[in-house]
Structure 1
Amino acid sequence: METTVKSELFNRDLSWLKFNERILMEAERDGVPLLERIKFLSIFSSNLDEFYRVRMPVLLALEKLSNNEDNDIHFNSELVKTANSLIFEQQQRYGKTLQLDIIPKLKTQNIELVYGHHFPDEIQTEIRRYFLSQVLAFLQPVSVNQETNFFPSNNELYFLVTVQQGDLH
């Protein structure tokens, strides 16, 4: 007796994104400790960054090659659209989880993230003291101008500060 087994394959790139969605789901769960949820958001973000560095260029190149009639490459152009749609939806959930859930819960623990606006005047002195005593030693300032041959390395974190004349005092 012969049996036929139907084999279904799931696309590697969509599988990667679905796995990353599972990580995001852990970050969204209320029963997970707050610090663990932040770690899950970090893992999600790191995985998505890697997807864009490793897989997306391949997908876009395959899509471009498959559009060339001289090639024998068969590529499902819907894959890029599906991937982008999944990523957009996941990014929306990530932002909602961070802004509407994680950040307010951090605030209840007296941890406040200040971004997008100036630090309150009452903490400026303490921030300056902390920066000068605890942070500055770990930074490597580089002046970037038209004469500078600056090419940022991959997988490194950069922080850009624009200084205008009169700012230093």
Structure 2
Amino acid sequence: MVSTQTPICDFNTPAIDFSLKGVDGTMHNLKSCQGENGLLLMFICNHCPYVKAIIDRIIRDTKALKKIGVNAVAIMSNNPNEYEADSFENMQKIATSMNFPFPYLIDETQQVAKTYGAVCTPDFFGYNADLKLQYRGRLDASHKESAAVDIKRDLFDAMSQIAITRQGPKEQIPSMGCSIKWLPSVD
């Protein structure tokens, strides 16, 4: 497991359309995932200890964000041949057992992750209502540890601000997680 951090937010970069299969068996695209006041696009996976440590808080925060018009979508771009836990069947199992309040999509070719410049799981991209990037930071100060009840909710606070002002916070702390497990390149 290689730990890495996300780059600094490149404000106002437009979201890029995609068409990916969800664990629900249907195809999802940028427009179908977008909320009235924004979109939180997350690159996650099933096996990553960083994601496992925060998944309950991701679910809590995405439910709260939906109430203020910010939808969320999760994309799994890892090579499932490297980690069986990241297979489509296991994605379906975890989404069902944890009752994900967002679509969970598979990026089999990894093209969406490459296009977005995703580097790790979790990697969060927060867009405003115009689908312009306003947040590329962490969920909160925890990493692979459980968090204190009163921990500052960086991502939730940033997305709430974006829903109201369309602008993300100037100061952002990068997300940290496991590197994306890329498919072997064919040269």
User: What is the TM-score with the length of structure 1 in the denominator?
Assistant: 0.20
Greater relative contact order structure (CA < 8 Å, 6+ sep): 2
Greater share of residues in helix: 1
Query: Greater share of strand residues, 1 or 2?
Result: 2
